[in-house]
Structure 1
């Protein structure tokens, strides 16, 4: 989704990419799904219950976390580790709804106040007790310019965070803010020891300083470039989530093929974000199985440069019409998922009545492939022959296929694409470092939502937002979203979200491709989790035990 590193990348030309995609497209159109793809898949809400505890297990991650400082935990590697050692005020369940966490209860007594009753009897990994002062110190970091939190937008409306009782914290906002409390179930709501934050300073969250939180696992050792070792925290407050494993290791394997081989051989016990091309291989083996779960992710093309050809909405629409998104889904994601015309999934609209949800999706344009119409739009915009740079990285097959398919589509409608391939770590910098995005027109993202509310996606695309990478500015859209944020009733808020969705669908600041399920692999040694995008914020590793 979003990421952090800055490493020099390399450029390569389009010729080989387009030639390769041409062959792939021919094979795809004649044969359907790629060789070995399995069509008989379905969403699982859980996996078999464990038979008992286990000494340890290992887990593959496609990149080393940028940081375990919750203020910068904004991507898949960071959050899937952090979720097991640090906890938030609220917990996200598999359906993305919220339940009490470090806050045993919460209330919204006035339109602009959120009051959290802090759970007693909780200790940090160093044995010290959780207090309201720790909560205040943790939340205030997000509004400190010196910290530069990646979650600052969650706190944009916050005017005050203070202790209002022995175990009570009140957050005051300048306007009613429906989104704030929902973010208390993700990294924006993580609580750390105030003393640890002060003592560790700039080393907090890195491989030297580590973290000192309240989760079922404690961080034991971070070997930079290799792995992170966690141990069960014996003083954990919640017996229902006591870690079944005495220890676990996150192993950094940046090469997709190496990651697949490690899973297939049993060298590593599990992994989230299983590359689609690996699914048939792993399901055909005898070492374990792949499970598909609830997701809030849409794979899309981020339009980063609105000063170039893509600044004209006609060119963006031309690209949407030229892309073979069904082919991208099949060749890049094994057919696991569905083509999407929106930047939200139905999961994000959970809890609303079916009619409201169906109306929000039925009213958007489908962008069915139409090359002649696309060519006409490019000609009308006067963009023929103009260059568009696509950034990509060898993270998984969908990255490669989406970049090549985009290049082929641009070529077919009279534009001149260039593919810039960088390392996986360098790719993460696109999401946080404006200098890394310089000269990039398009880049691929697997964008997940961190709350069960479509308004979160649209809030990201308002003018001036951290993740509005192309600086798209649509006054009517921003007005609608700002109004929606202030509506506390979910059904009424959904009406504004539906309006916002139609504008995004029409203007295409990002171009949606497909919505995949969560894919997780478990070896035959372990079992016991619920496949869901909530793995980014819920202590999923604690539930894994012996098969």
Structure 2
């Protein structure tokens, strides 16, 4: 089995190595090279030309069913454990949150019709009336309280517990009203209510299913446009249209969706070409031109990064990390590994992450950043000034695809170019997974690769990983000035002040470089000749995208 180094929290899904391409739009706000009408095509120099597509077109009619490929089988459909691509893209169509994250990365009302912030430590949510669960029961405030409280329960061990770190109490304050009391002001809490942390499930179902909740036998019972139908382990998950869905604008065009698990990337491409499956997210980069004009690219918040997991070793001096990034041929990585679909990253977040900031602050947050252009001579001189003299650096990797190999070799070459001695440590999928969960597994490892996406339209979601003591602070990075700026941003309710504090934290992080940003990548999706209607966007992890798919 191979793996893909991905996850909102750096999680590594045990699955195929479908590593995506990179988005020029994420950095510059432009679509990059002009592409074919559908979003991908070839060019004279062998690179893939592309453009971002906001909407693939209006369906001409409904469908009896369509089949969708995902690169790995979910381990669970329990929303408290849904932190990665396979479970989230299924759950997005079945379960819903208090708010909704839209394809343009804005938020809007979901199961909550309105919310208020009467003081910095209180959020009051008015719950939508008349919403039905898939078993026919009606949504109440009790269901919301039970659902949100699971993220506070140590026995549940929610992967979203950090997003609830400032929550003191969640209570019902009316038949259709829920109030969340915070221990400290937290400007990001509301935003997370549009992602998995805001998911609402039937309290009765949670109580009845217990530890079986979210598994193949029980599935889930939520309020989305599709209902759980069946799960055949090792093969597929089937959803059926929920005809009593509350939102007529997102009533599903298809009576059924079948998710099939195809781990091998070559097999996925073959399934696309033969029509065995109708579509799939995360298209193997090497097949973009081959599958054109049926490949589309959309908005993304994903950045490919090298995580510095040992700040006590040869990479402990920020100057060495700066030199390493300066010596890394990131454009070469994009061209060789992604057919030229991509943009070198000067930040750990994309420009889209700043969409909610005031215009002046958004500009400041996306321009004038510390920059490390490719220059091997300057990089070597900087490294020598920092005392580099042949020390060994261990780069962890796992048997993936050619793209991962290219990235690993490029990082190793950069180490050599600045005077370090690289050692590539190729480990199994389960051991690579442990790098994200077990500090002991990171012992002796200096660098490892991740593709990191945010679940809200906010840079703070990424920079939370660099706060002292954060669960996903894999190198134990600690900078008091960074922590102070980060906490100031989280606590601020004024958009301009919050953005300014975030900018300060970002400048510190991009100077210290506890993670090395490599490149931005867009969402990629394949749509066969039978279907259309999709709005390509990273929001597919939380938005009911399958409901919009109909006949072409």
Q: TM-score, normalised by structure 1?
A: 0.90
In the alignment, structure 1 residue 104 sits paired with structure 2 residue 113? yes
CA shift in 2, pair 1:397/1:496, >3 Å: farther
| Residue of structure 2 in register with 1:307 after alignment | 312
| Residue of structure 1 in register with 2:47 after alignment | 37
| Residue of structure 2 in register with 1:407 after alignment | 412
In the alignment, structure 1 residue 526 sits paired with structure 2 residue 531? yes
Contact 1:277–1:397 (CA<8 Å) still a contact in 2?
A: no
1:515 corresponds to which of 516, 520, 543: 520
Instruction: Give how far 1:425 is off.
Output: 6.3
| Residue of structure 1 in register with 2:502 after alignment | 497
Instruction: Give how far 1:438 is off.
Output: 4.1
Instruction: Give the Cα separation in 2 of the matches to 1:271 and 1:7.
Output: 18
In the alignment, structure 1 residue 333 sits paired with structure 2 residue 338? yes
Contact 1:4–1:425 (CA<8 Å) still a contact in 2?
A: no
Name the SS for the 2:493 alignment partner: coil
Instruction: Give how far 1:543 is off.
Output: 0.6
| Residue of structure 2 in register with 1:361 after alignment | 366
Name the SS for the 1:160 alignment partner: strand
| Residue of structure 2 in register with 1:446 after alignment | 451
| Residue of structure 2 in register with 1:27 after alignment | none
CA shift in 2, pair 1:155/1:509, >3 Å: same
In the alignment, structure 1 residue 71 sits paired with structure 2 residue 80? yes
| Residue of structure 2 in register with 1:46 after alignment | 55
Aligned residues: 520
254-263 or 337-346, which deviates more: 254-263
Q: Structure 2 matches for 1:252-331, cutoff 5 A? A: 252-283=261-292, 289-331=294-336
Q: Structure 2 matches for 1:142-541, cutoff 5 A? A: 142-283=151-292, 289-422=294-427, 427-541=432-546
Residues 96-153 of structure 1 show CA distances to partners (whole Å, capped at 9, x for unaligned) of 1111111111111111111111111112222221111111111111111122211111
Instruction: Give the Cα separation in 1 of the matches to 2:211 and 2:408.
Output: 37
Instruction: Give how far 1:529 is off.
Output: 1.1
Name the SS for the 2:185 alignment partner: coil
Name the SS for the 2:64 alignment partner: strand
CA shift in 2, pair 1:133/1:110, >3 Å: same
Instruction: Give the Cα separation in 1 of the matches to 2:421 and 2:537.
Output: 39
Instruction: Give how far 1:212 is off.
Output: 1.4
Instruction: Give the Cα separation in 2 of the matches to 1:424 and 1:239.
Output: 43
**Cα RMSD (Å) of the superposition?**
2.3
Residues 271-303 of structure 1 show CA distances to partners (whole Å, capped at 9, x for unaligned) of 1121221111101xxxx6111111111111112
Instruction: Give the Cα separation in 1 of the matches to 2:43 and 2:392.
Output: 31
CA shift in 2, pair 1:162/1:396, >3 Å: farther
Name the SS for the 2:246 alignment partner: coil
Instruction: Give how far 1:86 is off.
Output: 0.8
Instruction: Give how far 1:488 is off.
Output: 1.4
Name the SS for the 2:188 alignment partner: helix
Instruction: Give the Cα separation in 2 of the matches to 1:120 and 1:398.
Output: 49
CA shift in 2, pair 1:132/1:388, >3 Å: same
CA shift in 2, pair 1:232/1:433, >3 Å: farther
Contact 2:356–2:458 (CA<8 Å) still a contact in 1?
A: no
Instruction: Give how far 1:258 is off.
Output: 1.9
Instruction: Give how far 1:4 is off.
Output: 5.2
Instruction: Give how far 1:394 is off.
Output: 4.9
CA shift in 2, pair 1:197/1:33, >3 Å: same
Instruction: Give how far 1:353 is off.
Output: 4.2
Q: Which runs of 5+ in 2 are unaligned?
A: 1-5, 16-41
CA shift in 2, pair 1:318/1:179, >3 Å: same
Name the SS for the 2:149 alignment partner: helix
Contact 2:65–2:256 (CA<8 Å) still a contact in 1?
A: yes
Instruction: Give the Cα separation in 1 of the matches to 2:73 and 2:390.
Output: 39
2:125 corresponds to which of 107, 116, 120: 116
Name the SS for the 2:181 alignment partner: strand
CA shift in 2, pair 1:128/1:432, >3 Å: farther
CA shift in 2, pair 1:389/1:261, >3 Å: farther
1:129 corresponds to which of 122, 127, 138: 138
CA shift in 2, pair 1:531/1:226, >3 Å: same
401-410 or 156-165, which deviates more: 401-410
Instruction: Give the Cα separation in 1 of the matches to 2:44 and 2:441.
Output: 34
Instruction: Give the Cα separation in 1 of the matches to 2:542 and 2:98.
Output: 11
Contact 2:205–2:221 (CA<8 Å) still a contact in 1?
A: yes
Q: Which runs of 5+ in 1 are unaligned?
A: 9-31
Instruction: Give the Cα separation in 1 of the matches to 2:58 and 2:120.
Output: 43
Contact 1:57–1:269 (CA<8 Å) still a contact in 2?
A: yes
Q: TM-score, normalised by structure 2?
A: 0.89
Contact 2:14–2:433 (CA<8 Å) still a contact in 1?
A: no
Residues 371-418 of structure 1 show CA distances to partners (whole Å, capped at 9, x for unaligned) of 223223433444433332323345554323211211121122222223
Contact 2:468–2:483 (CA<8 Å) still a contact in 1?
A: yes
Contact 2:71–2:264 (CA<8 Å) still a contact in 1?
A: yes
